[in-house]
Amino acid sequence: MTCREMTDFLVDYVSGELDPAVVAEFEPHLERCPNCRVYVTQYRETIIAARLAVGAGAASDAARGAADRADDPPPMPDELVRAILNAIRKP
């Protein structure tokens, strides 16, 4: 497996959807290729950084099965709800 192929497969690897036969080729490549090791780590960390930066919590892609409580949005303010309801009542 080349670095290019590995990079192409990354999205499925990180989500846990990669075919096990392909995963089996991933690990040996990572063992011999420090550059890809760094890249895979940074790819994952980029996702975490983006989530933290917007206040979505730090749950990684793989761990997102459970709802990330840090990310529950506040409820709509009453005045906004009323403004919308008033707007739709107009003929």
Footprint on this chain of another protein (rule: CB under 8 A): 2-5, 7, 10-12, 35-36, 38-39, 41-43, 45-54, 56, 58, 61, 64, 67-69, 71-76, 80-81, 83-85, 87-89
69: tokens are 């409580």
In whole angstroms, how close is the CB of 77 to another protein at the nearest point?
9
Identity of the residue, 31 or 68, whose beta carbon is nearer to another protein in the bound complex? 68
Distance, CA of 91 to CA of 89 (rounded, Å) = 6
Identity of the residue, 24 or 80, whose beta carbon is nearer to another protein in the bound complex? 80
Residue of 30, 37, 63 lying closest to 48 (CA atoms):
63
Distance, CA of 80 to CA of 18 (rounded, Å) = 44
Distance, CA of 35 to CA of 3 (rounded, Å) = 9
In whole angstroms, how close is the CB of 70 to another protein at the nearest point?
10
In whole angstroms, how close is the CB of 20 to another protein at the nearest point?
19
